[in-house]
Each structure stands twice: as structure tokens, then as C-alpha cells.
Structure 1
């Protein structure tokens, strides 16, 4: 009781927390989290995973809960060492340090006040705890959990064994006969044996063996418990003169009551399909949605499900219905919904809020929800929900069923929340070696996972996606993948990797035959069986006529198409091309008729543009008499807008079909000339000479194959799977001479690029789950990204870019581009600084690469110190980089002249290069 774990000085008063009190706090919190916060599925995973019980079965049946408690009780064993006990406090006076050493002296540890441990820093307390456990004969499964409880397990067994060189750090003396050494050893062993006894283990041989995936869950749990128990608002420190806490029996109850906002939603029932869809979404289910519900209801052991259906079939609602059924069937207690972009995540957040509100009300629950991406703090829907946390009535009830739990704020804790909507990066990061990765695994292992638009992820991202799916397989977490359509080999790869996670060998897998024109399609697993649902009644097809269009004929064609009015969508492959075509269209048809949309707009401007488009040409929009919308790939990503006619650059067929999904999307009245859906395709070339920008973005191989198989008419939906299989299949094209050579060269380049992407992804990707391994080396050579966005760049293979806040010179100060009001003297106002924080834009990679990202960041940091130093005092702006465009919207970035306006977005004035989105 003389060893300390925490110390603090407040207003000249000294506080501390004895090590044994902190261990007891963490032990109690660990048990509480295991029994009340983990999902039923997680508890079952832990219980089934543990091996070797000694004589424990006679003591208590709940070995897994006792193990969680035991780990909490020994997590800081390494603090019972001279190396830790002589550590100076970060912000307290020397007097507090000296008083705590005096306690140790009086307890018999003579000489601790004056000992000088030259290599104390070589034995951090997490590693020290692992080393002591090894000396006590504890296996590396438990040892690596303790060694990794500060976020990173050791890289190799040698790191532990080498601690024998620093014996003085552990026992104050290298003399084996020293009485003080014996006292340290006795204290350490007694602490360890106390934790055993408190949790019903008679000796170390009663401790079970833990497979690696379960080690990850326990490590995440112990990190979380330690963070809660270390919060002095929940578990207060005590005055230096005292050695025990007040009301120790109430300490856990008081601490948990301050921390916990809600308990996990464990469902034991769900409504019938008609009632579920009416209650949750306000309409009766369509045929596809009924089939998804009935298929899920028939599954005994849910695993992975892939939903493929045309746009407009209600795949999102179907996936949410599946989630509700799977939560009940598996014991999961939450949801992660991952989407391609921040914009699509923002759009989905309000839909999930409504669904969760209905779900929570059905189960008489109160549930937290979180939006998770780099700009989530600026989302108004999420900020509105923050207020619900305080809306508790006098009878303990709540006016709303959904709220924001602030404890789960921050990149390391966000995925621990029960219901999370975010960019797909949140899921991909499960496979990236990063500090505190176990927390992300802890959060995901309790949720059903939905990943939307899985067709949009390239070979690099697929490596992380498949690894994350494999770990979900080992955890028994249901995964729902949603797409308009997938190439057969991608579909099979997702199923295979999930089943491998469950421990199944590929040789034992049996994939059912699926016809090339089976569509819609539900592919799913029930235990180790792979099944499909493809017997859908053939619905009405929409015929889309395909017409090749020369770039030079674009303006004349658009002019003819709009002779009677209408809405034209032009989707191109690069930002530069969108800006160039936008300029020509504005010159010819007038600025008010033309709208440009791409990724190089200030974030707030892009959100406004997307919102305006939905209000004009969305499902219930007030359609203008004539409109031309020119955009890049952002148009194909979940924007519910409707064009009367579409023009697209040539791109891979699945993406071309996604773009076509915005053509005649809804049943509305259209100009007579545009009654039939027509898709004009630009950029085809019989010599296979495609635009440089298109080849940079998509590669030549799939452009060739798409061009080759593109028919004059596409029947949607029946032709979709056939086209996908043709383009992504391995049937060789019948070509002669130079065309054959160009095709073969493109094929070789494509294969090389895929292999390079796979190889590159291995750099920071975690290994496959292995029940026979420990956490030692799990995060060896990990990624050290300090922000969520830089980590996301790792799993997306994004070219190096720099995000800045863009403001415009206004009078003697600066303001935003939207209103030209000088706000430079008002940034201390939260509303102003928060608004500025939303004015972000990315400097394109080709500009950054000119002098290198490090050089450009240094230049921007110097610029900010001179021009925007006041930002570092404001919470919303601290750490951000800003640039001030002049009154004309230009800025000289280290020799590169940039221009920005609300019409065209960001562009390079002197030299513009095609830039991949």
C-alpha cells in the first residue's frame, strides 16, 4: 500500500493513488465491462476460445469474466518496480515525489530516496510487467496482453529477455542477497498472487491458454478499463496523508455511474418483414427487400452476405433490416456503416439516426450514435444530437432515443461506440498496424458491419478490406457488403477470406454455380455453407441507348439535346477536364445554366453544391427548365440526382453503369426529345489511344475491354451482370497486329500494377489471425500516422496531399469565399472559428510532388507563423494550416500560382496537369 500508481498536485495540495487501489479499480472495471458492456457475441467468443482450465471449473463457470478481472488486477504490475517508483512527476513539485519516496522508505525499501537508476528508461512499466510475469512462469499469451496495454506489444521475445540486463530497475540492487531486493520481489509476487486469489485462481496453472484473436479482445478491454479507471473524475485520487479511499465498496458503482451512458442493445426479437419496413422506413418492403429479409431469417449461423441489385431497389434499407435480424441471431450489439466518402457518410448519418431511433424505441432503449470521419465535428446533425445527452427527465426517461456519448470522442475511442457511421477507412484501418489497434478490434468485434459500394475499391484497398473481413470471420461478426454489382472473382474473394477467418480451408469451400445473368443476387454463408438467392422474378428493363461521341462534338450535341430544355449530366474522369468543359459550356450556355462539381472545392462549398443539386434535380426536387451539370467521379457516389440525358468519359464498365444509375433515375415527366434514356460515351478510340488522364485514373486495360464489350443498348438491370462478367472475365479479345500488341501490353501493365499494389499494401498490413500466436510482434514496423486522415491515406493509397483552410483577403483582414465578410478580428467566437474550420481544401498531389511534401509543409508552416499565428490560440483552428487568397482568388504557393473561385474550384493558373480524383 506504499507503492503509488498516480500522483497529482492541485493548488499546492498533494494527491496520490496507491498502486493496489488502482489495480483494484481496474480489476473491477474490467469485470464490469466484460459482464455489462461487451456484447453477448464477444463474451461467447472469449468463453469458447479459452483452453486449459486446471481445477477452475469447480470454482466458477465464468472463467472468461474472471480472466478479464485478473488481467485488470495485474495490468500495472510493472509499476511495482524502482524504475517506476522513482519517476518524477510531469507537473508536480519535487516535494510530492520526495514524500512518496519517504512512504517507501518507511515501508522498508531503504535507499529508494537516493538510488540512481542509470537505465530506468529502458524498463517502461508495461514491458516490466511482462518481464515479471515471465519470471513467474506465465505464458506469452497473457504476458503480451500486459506488455501491450499501452497500445503496442513488444516486437520480439528478445525485447523481454533483454530486461535481465536491467535487474536494478526491478529490484533496486543487483546483489542477489540484498534484503531490499527480496522485499521488491515479495511485493511483486504478492501483488500477482493477490490478483489470482481475488479472481478464483488457486495458482498460475489455473490460468487458461488464450488464442491470439481473443488476446486482441482482452488487450482492448484492458486498455479501455485502464483509461476509465485512470480518469480521476470517475475514480478520484486521495490526499497524500491517506492510504485508503472513502467508501471503497461504492467506488466502482460511483465511477461507472459517471462513465456509463447506456448499455449495449442486446435484441432478442424483431418484427415481421412488413412491420419492420413500415416501422423503420415508412413503407412496405419491395420484392428484393422481402427476399433479403426472408433469406436472413432462414440462416442459422450468419456470416457474410453480399447484396447486389440495381440502383433504386432499396439496398440500404435491406441491409439495415438484415442488421436487425443478425444482431438478434448472433448477439452483436451495434452497427458500423462504412461509405466511400465523407459526403456520402454525412448523407447516411441522418438516415441511420432515424432507423436507430425506431429500433431503440422498439426495444425501449437509449442508444448512442457517432459519425466518424475527419470533418465529423462540423456536421450539424451530429452536433444537434450532442444536446440529447442532457435531456433526461426527472423520472429518468429521455425525450429522444438517440444521442452522442462524448466519452467515445477521438480517433482511438470512436469505434468503441455502439453505432457508428463513417467512411470505409474506419473499417480498413482494422488491418493497419497502428498503436492502440486492439481498441478498434474491440469495437468492431461487437458490431454488424455494412460496407457500401464495395465495387469502388481498387486492388490496394482490397488488400486491407479483405484482411479486415478475415478478422471479422474469426470474431464471428456478420458482414454485409452492398454493391450495384461485382465481378465474380471479387465476390468469391470476399466470401473466401471471411470463411478463412472462421478457420475453414479453401479446399473445403464449395461455391454454387451462378448464372452470368443472375441479377439481383444475394450471396451468403450459413456456417461453412456458401449459398445464393437468385430466383428473382424478371422485372421490367430500362433500355439505355449508347452512342459514341467525339470530344469536338460535345457542345453542339448538348445544344441540340437541350433544344426543348432538360437536364444534362456530363461526367468526366479528371478535375482539369471538368473545369475546361465547364468553361466552354458557361461561355456558350451562360453561367447560370451550368454547374460544376468535383473534389477540388472547399469542403463547405462542395456540401452546398451537392445539397443544391439534390434540391433541384433530386427525387423531389424543383427541376429547372434547363441545366448542365459537369462533374467527376463524385457524381457516381451515392448522389440521388436524376439527369434527362448523360454524357460520360469512357471508364470501366461497373463505374459507367454507376454513372448511368443517375440517368432517368425516377419516373418523372421529361422533355419530348429526352423521353428515352441515352448515354453518350466520349473518349473511345479504335487505336486504343485514350486520354492521358483517363489512363492515369483507370489504366488502359479495362478501358479497352469496356470499349470492346460496350453494346449499342444496355438493358438495366438484366444486362448488368453479363457486362461485368465480360469486362472483368478472362476471355481474350480477338485482335490482330498492333492492336493485339497494345492490348497485351496493357494487360501486362495491369497485372504488374495489381501485384505492386498488393505488395505495397503489405508494408503496414497486419498478419492473418493465428490462434497459435501471441501479440508479440503483432504491430512490428507499424504505421505512425498521427491523424485519422493520414492513416486513411495509407489504406487508400492516396497520393500525398496537404489539407489547408482556404480564406480570402477582405479589407484589412480575411473571410470566407461565400460572403466576403472580414472575420479576422472575431476568430475567438466559436461560431466564426468553427465556420473557418470547415473551409478546407486539399492541395493536389501533382503540386505537392514538385518540391516534396516535407518541403511544402515547412513552407506552409513558416507562412502560417507569419500570417495566421493567432489561429494557434483557438481550439477549432489550432494545428491547422491556412492560406489567404487575394481579392482575385489567387495565391502563390511557394512558386506555384493557385486560383480558387466558387465556379471552377481550385486550379493551377500557370500549369495544369490531369489529376486523379
Structure 2
């Protein structure tokens, strides 16, 4: 009988004893499964293979051989006898366990063990080092460690160095078996090592390092797909590697990839012209988007125009043209909030198929996973495998990780042809979060569209710049949309892009508005465009100084048959005003409340009702006498139109956004939709702003005493004062003519700070500097390559390092009910995606004031977290048992009164 090679006596995957399949899957076979996925993916997707190869300076064949070979090494750490001792599948002729060698799935996981085995045992005696001098040998070692780190780090994060000796996990026989396996694979395919590249320090640092994130993402994807036992059945039968490769690995890879849609990415059709694409005549900005000459490489577009000017259609025009030119294979639309992403998802639902051939099936996924337009879009982009048992608590299997990741469509949206969601899902790609490389892989060949680019705090803005730099470096194009962008922020975004393209910085000079900026490798072009006549605004501004005045204005409008909105800065203030107004209305149901502290199901219900009542198509029957009390959730992207609008004081750019909801569309005297170009028949609008009494100079507590909620949300008191000052001087918001004047008066390079607010301003800027430093500290240095930072910080759950500046973390809270038989069901149990629809987000201080689960539900809750990967870090709130002070109400949301 022919002797079985030593490397065929190690399992790579093992199931429980009652498995229908073979009791184990041999380690070399699993390694070939994963390599076969990589081989098939590159062979069937020559565009991706060519792009990756040319970016590295390889021929396609050189890249393919080295990449596929490296995938076979990804699980070398499983040759550790300590790892093998975790299972003893019967009848597999495996190496026996070694007493005393205990597997540590936390500090000495199999991915870390594999990297250390390569560095300490396999590389030192490898023939690839022969004939190389000492300097080149060091470069070769560094190059291989950087390259292979993409494959050893296939569980979502780079591997750490292991201070412990290999003997804690490996016997000599294990090291020999691993060496024999590497030699056998080299014998099967020939030596793949591109030493001429690996010994070149400049290639390693400038070419390879920035691209390792894509390689790591692709390696993770290959491991996940190669771990799917449905397509790669367990095999414990000894056979040659060549036989397994041809008869099992390659056929399995072909089948699993057919199920992913990754091989069937449709190429965009030619842009048919704006009128044919959208069914209406274009605005000046949209006309520019249709006719501007595109560059050959990655490019940045920055579109600045008034709210309601059609920036979305302009962006889709540019994206369609780029995709048709082969400059991307899909798009991701990032927005500031879930509400705005909901609205954009619905808008794209009627358009995105026009990007691709009619006989294709492109995927559209909403990134927070709460709504799908069609049943056919509910399937994952990647087929969900049956999960094998985890190796250890801290060391999940590839199948288990895949299931958990796919359970959260905020992440899979980045792999779809068209993804829509908050910008946070893209920003997590530049933070040390597990599987961030998959996010970057998904974004690399997409057109990235970021709406409301002005709407982020300084921390998020720094992360966005990092993302833009990397996206440009990877060859992707981006389109940024804004209605209110200060010149200094515009300059910073352009510089970030140019840094990624390694082109000379070109200073933007135009002060025009509206403005379209096109940045490419040859330079920068600024085009002033005319404003759409219908979007021009000339809104007189009036200040009120007491809540009672705002309350009276809203009530008077409703009683006069108009529709009115009051935008409050905090949820608590919104709830209080809503209840006060309802108490004075003859028909209290004609008032509506909308804020972020509702469950997803209720948010969507209220959002739909708001769009029906106050949206573009609404008429007098829906609008008359209706009131909306809302927070910032309505200030962006929702197409709402009010007859009367009141807002709490906010920075000028946000007030401009809010003002865009006042007389947004032409209507007749009764509030019915009017004809474009005709005068509005309603009484002249006046934008009322609830603000402190004006004083010059202001006292230190100018905002804090009269409006404590506003002061808590918008801490830059000097910016609020400058906002009020310029609006008093202008007496109106006139757009587009005075847009730059308003913005630069508040955000210019040398802003005015009155003496009374100097101390508060110093505190604010200290906070800003800390926030900017935190962003720089937290963000990955992507140009240095897929490797841990010196302190190894991060790489845990998505909530540990956030994408928004916050004083405290935010928790996902799932509302539940108790069934008569003692089980748990979601609050919205009849809804599709019931668990997601029963979820809301709360600040830690609010979440901590929720009641604990009763003891009898702790067990069912633990079981539920195991069954539902998306719930593992959620907090459950049993609403029925809460006290009246802390409650959930369908119309009020989560009511959690302030302490004291």
C-alpha cells in the first residue's frame, strides 16, 4: 500500500459525529478548495485579474500563479498539533493529539500560528532564498511577510507577531508536514515566487503595500466561499493533490461562484441621454453632467447647488457615464442618515436597472437591511454556508464568520452592484474593524457617491478624507454632492483626492455658486453653472425668542388650513412640543412626530406618512391643518414641502438645509401642486428661527441658558452667534446669490469671535482638535499595508471605534414581547425582517436607564443571540414590563425622561 503523505493526516474542517458527510475534511483539500475559488474567480473575471495584476506590475499569469499559490498557504497554522487536538474525527487516520499542547484560540489563533510558522520555520530554509545577498534577503523577507500577511490574515484582521516559541503548538513532525505540503504544491504548479519584485523595497512600499487591503479582502472572500460544505463536501479519502484539484476543488469552485453573482457582473449600457433616462428636461447642472468630458482615469466630481436642484440625477448621470466607459462596475450611494438612505433607496429602485442590460439581474441592497423593494433582492450576494462549529470561542470558522457577516446587509451592500446606505458603512473600511478589507474590496471598483458631504462633524470629515485618498489610490472615482460647502472644506476634500492620485495639488479658486468641480490627473476644472429657476430662494428670516411664539405660529398655521413644521434640535424637546400642540388641537391626530428614537418599522411608517402628507405630490386634502414636529431627520434628502416652517437655531448651513423645506415646490393657494414656472399662490413665506435674544457682545451663557438643548447639540456657540448675526444683516436667505456670503461669514478662515464667547470658543476648538487627532489616530494608515499598528489597537466589533463623533457609545436596542409560553418575539413580529424592524439606537446613558430583562428571559435571550448573529451585541427591551416613566409609544417613540 502506498504510504500516505504526512500532510494528509491533518484535518482542516471537522463536524460533529452525527454529520452526514465524511467525519472530516483534510487540511490540504480545504486549502485547495480556497485556492480553486481564487483561480476560478480570476479566470472567469479577467477584468478584475487584469486590474489587480497591472496595479502590481505583474503580468496576469504571474499574478494569478502567485495569488492562487498563496491561498493554499492561508491555513498553515492548522498543522499545529494543538489545533488538531480540538477534534478527533473517527476513521480519518489523523495524527494523534499531543497531551500538554493546548490550543489558545485567543492569543495563538491558527491564522497567527500560520504566519509565525512561515516566518520562523518554513522561510529560513526555503530555496527561494538561494543566491540572494544579505540585503536582498532582508527585502525578500519583508516583501513576503507583507504579501503573505494578506492570506494568513484571512479572518478579518492582520495577524500579530507571536512572542511564544512554536514548540508550544507544533511538534517537529507538524513543521515537517507543513513543509512537505508547501513543497508538494510548488511541485504541482512550479515555483511562483516573483523575487524580482519582492526584493525591491520601493515596489514593496509604494506599489504593494497600498494594494494589500484588496488582496486581503479577496483572500477572505475566497476562504468564505471555499468553506462552503455544500459545494466542497468533506473528503477524508487520500488522493493526490492534482487529482483532488481537478476532480473536486475546481468543479466546486465553479459551482459556488455561480451562486454568488460575482461572475455575472453586468457591464453598464451606454447612457441614453438625460431626457430618456429620467423623463424630464435637465437643469443646468444636469446638463453639465451629461456633457462634461470624462477623463481616462479615476476622477472626482464635486457638485455644489441649491437644495432641490437635482443633484441626485446629475450624480446618477455622471455615474452611468463612468460605468459605461468601464470606469467602475457598480456604485455605492452614501448618505448621512438612515432616513436619507431610505429615501434614496426608493428613488434608485425605479432607476438602477436602467444602468445595466435589460436581461441582467443587478443587485440593489439597502445598507441597513430593513427594506427591500423586491423579493428577489433578499438573497445574499454570497450564498450562506452551513456553519461548522467554531474552533474556539475567539476563533470562529470561515463558515461561521461568513454567516455572521452576511446576516448584516449593511456590509453586503458594499458587494452588490448598487448599494445604498449611510456613509458609515464605507468609512468603516478605513478603521481597524474586522473584515474592513472586504469593505474596501467592494468599494474598489465602484463609483462612490457621497451626498450631503457638508453634513459631518470634524471627526467623520477626517475619516472621509482618508477614504477618498484610498479610493483614489485604488483607481476608483467619486462624486460628492452638497448644497452648503465652505471653501476650506472644499479645498480639503480636493487635496485628499489628489494625495491618493499622487498628483500636484491644484488650489480651487472659484467663488461661484452653483459650481461643478472636476478633478483628474491632469488638473482641476471649475465650471460655474446657472441655478435652476424653480430652486432659487428668497426667504425672509424672522427670529422668535420664546417657545410660546413658535408654538403659536405653528398652531395658527394649522388653524388657517396650512401645513406647518417645527424642527427641534433634541428628541426630548420635540416630544414635549408635540404633546403640547396635540393638547390644543381639535383633531390631535393631525399632528405627527418624527425623530430618530423610533423603531425601524415605526420610522419607516412615519417617513412614508410624512412623504404622503407633505411630499411633492401632496395636495390640500392631505396637507390642510397638518403639523409635523421633527428633529434633524427631516433636514436632508427628504422631499418635504411646508407652508410654514419654524426651526430651532442651528449653524447656518443646517438652517439653509432646513429652509429648503419651506415652499419647496410651486403650489396654488390651497396647497395643491402648481405648474412649474408659475408663481406660488400661497401667502409669502417667512422662515422663523427660535433663538436667544440678540446681544452684542453676547454673555458667556448666551445660548446655554435659554436653549439648553440647542447648546448641548451644537457646542460651537460662536458659530451660532455668527449665524444669527449674518442672518440679521441679510434679513433673508437668498440663494444662490448670497450662499457663499452666508457660509463664509460663519466658516471663513478667520471667523469673528465676540469677547463673551472666547472661553467657550477655546473649549470648542480644543474639542475639535481632540476629535481631529482621534480620527487620525483611529484611521488605518492604508498606505503602509495590511498589518497591525504597533499597538495592535482595534480590530474588534464595529461599535468599538465609531465613524461619528460622540461623547458616548450607541447601542442597538431590540424591542421584544414575551409570548404566553415564555419565549421571546420581536415587537413588530408581523413585519418582514422583524428583528431589524424592531430595533432602535440609543445613547449609552439612555440605554442604561432601560429595565433589565426579567431572570426567566435571560436564557431565551442567550439562545436567541446564538441563533441570530445580528442580535449578538444588541440589548433587549421587554416593553410590557417597563414603568410608565420609561416607555415606548408608537406615536412618541422611546420616552426616557431626563433624570431629576
How far off is 1:708 after superposition? 0.9
Which residue does the alignment assign to 1:29? 37
Normalising by the residue count of structure 1, what TM-score does the alignment of the two structures yield?
0.80
Which residue does the alignment assign to 2:814? 805
The CA RMSD over aligned residues, in Å, is 3.8
CA distance in 2, matches of 1:196, 1:452: 48
How far off is 1:336 after superposition? 1.0
With over 3 angstroms needed to count, the CA separation of the structure-2 counterparts of 1:792 and 1:116, relative to structure 1, is closer
Which residue does the alignment assign to 1:695? 711
Which residue does the alignment assign to 2:515? 521
CA distance in 2, matches of 1:877, 1:82: 33
Which residue does the alignment assign to 2:215? 218
How far off is 1:728 after superposition? 0.8
Equivalent residue runs for 1:616-695 within 5 Å: 616-622=613-619, 623-670=622-669, 674-687=682-695, 688=698, 689-690=702-703, 691-695=707-711
Equivalent residue runs for 1:438-449 within 5 Å: 438-449=437-448
Which residue does the alignment assign to 2:367? 372
With over 3 angstroms needed to count, the CA separation of the structure-2 counterparts of 1:330 and 1:626, relative to structure 1, is same
How far off is 1:221 after superposition? 1.4
Match of 2:231 among 214, 219, 234: 234
Which residue does the alignment assign to 2:431? 432
Residues 77 and 188 in structure 1, CA contact (< 8 A), matched pair in contact too: no
Which residue does the alignment assign to 1:150? 155
Match of 1:48 among 34, 55, 66: 55
Equivalent residue runs for 1:589-628 within 5 Å: 589-590=585-586, 591-622=588-619, 623-628=622-627
Match of 1:6 among 9, 12, 15: 12
CA distance in 1, matches of 2:55, 2:380: 38
Residues 596 and 903 in structure 1, CA contact (< 8 A), matched pair in contact too: yes
Equivalent residue runs for 1:498-537 within 5 Å: 498-504=497-503, 508-515=504-511, 518-536=512-530
How far off is 1:449 after superposition? 0.7
CA distance in 1, matches of 2:31, 2:381: 31
With over 3 angstroms needed to count, the CA separation of the structure-2 counterparts of 1:351 and 1:798, relative to structure 1, is farther
Which residue does the alignment assign to 1:141? 146
Q: Tell me the alpha carbon deviations over residues 621-668 of structure 1, each in whole angstroms, 9 at most, x when there is no partner.
A: 243321221111111022211101111111001100110111111111
With over 3 angstroms needed to count, the CA separation of the structure-2 counterparts of 1:305 and 1:568, relative to structure 1, is same
More deviation, 204-213/718-727: 204-213
How far off is 1:213 after superposition? 1.4
More deviation, 672-681/691-700: 672-681
How far off is 1:482 after superposition? 1.1
CA distance in 2, matches of 1:389, 1:360: 17
CA distance in 1, matches of 2:828, 2:616: 38
CA distance in 2, matches of 1:533, 1:429: 33
Q: Tell me the alpha carbon deviations over residues 225-256 of structure 1, each in whole angstroms, 9 at most, x when there is no partner.
A: 12212222112222446667678346423432
Match of 1:381 among 361, 373, 382: 373
How far off is 1:578 after superposition? 1.3
Matched, 1:730 2:752: no
CA distance in 1, matches of 2:582, 2:159: 60
Residues 453 and 483 in structure 1, CA contact (< 8 A), matched pair in contact too: yes
More deviation, 72-81/328-337: 72-81
Which residue does the alignment assign to 1:904? 892
With over 3 angstroms needed to count, the CA separation of the structure-2 counterparts of 1:303 and 1:283, relative to structure 1, is same
Which residue does the alignment assign to 1:586? 582
CA distance in 1, matches of 2:404, 2:280: 36
How far off is 1:694 after superposition? 0.9
Equivalent residue runs for 1:69-468 within 5 Å: 69-80=68-79, 82-84=81-83, 86-89=84-87, 93=89, 95-96=90-91, 99-101=93-95, 117=101, 122=108, 124-132=113-121, 134-135=123-124, 136=126, 137=129, 138=141, 139=143, 140-155=145-160, 159=161, 162=163, 165-167=165-167, 169-170=169-170, 172-173=171-172, 183-184=176-177, 187-188=180-181, 190-191=183-184, 193-194=186-187, 197=190, 199=192, 209=204, 211-240=208-237, 248-249=246-247, 251-260=249-258, 261-262=260-261, 263=263, 265=265, 267=267, 270-274=270-274, 277-279=275-277, 281-295=278-292, 297-329=293-325, 331-361=327-357, 364-373=359-368, 376=369, 378-381=370-373, 383=375, 385-386=377-378, 409-411=406-408, 413-468=412-467
Which residue does the alignment assign to 1:490? 489
How far off is 1:134 after superposition? 3.8
With over 3 angstroms needed to count, the CA separation of the structure-2 counterparts of 1:456 and 1:382, relative to structure 1, is farther
Unaligned runs of 5+ in 1: 54-59, 102-111, 174-179, 391-404, 815-821, 851-855, 913-917
Partner-residue secondary structure (3-state), 1:545: strand
CA distance in 2, matches of 1:232, 1:78: 21
CA distance in 2, matches of 1:538, 1:319: 16
With over 3 angstroms needed to count, the CA separation of the structure-2 counterparts of 1:683 and 1:72, relative to structure 1, is same
Which residue does the alignment assign to 2:566? 570
How far off is 1:908 after superposition? 3.2
Partner-residue secondary structure (3-state), 1:666: coil
CA distance in 2, matches of 1:186, 1:883: 54
CA distance in 2, matches of 1:833, 1:414: 18
Residues 444 and 476 in structure 2, CA contact (< 8 A), matched pair in contact too: yes
Partner-residue secondary structure (3-state), 1:194: helix
How far off is 1:417 after superposition? 3.0
Unaligned runs of 5+ in 2: 130-140, 383-401, 672-680
Partner-residue secondary structure (3-state), 1:323: helix
How far off is 1:490 after superposition? 0.9
Partner-residue secondary structure (3-state), 1:62: helix
CA distance in 2, matches of 1:152, 1:345: 29
With over 3 angstroms needed to count, the CA separation of the structure-2 counterparts of 1:698 and 1:43, relative to structure 1, is farther
With over 3 angstroms needed to count, the CA separation of the structure-2 counterparts of 1:675 and 1:29, relative to structure 1, is same
Residues 722 and 746 in structure 2, CA contact (< 8 A), matched pair in contact too: yes
Residues 38 and 264 in structure 1, CA contact (< 8 A), matched pair in contact too: no
CA distance in 2, matches of 1:709, 1:389: 50
With over 3 angstroms needed to count, the CA separation of the structure-2 counterparts of 1:549 and 1:780, relative to structure 1, is same
More deviation, 655-664/483-492: 483-492
CA distance in 2, matches of 1:650, 1:827: 38
Which residue does the alignment assign to 2:732? 713
CA distance in 2, matches of 1:701, 1:828: 44
How far off is 1:760 after superposition? 2.5
Residues 36 and 245 in structure 2, CA contact (< 8 A), matched pair in contact too: no
More deviation, 753-762/626-635: 753-762
CA distance in 1, matches of 2:866, 2:508: 62
Matched, 1:743 2:751: no
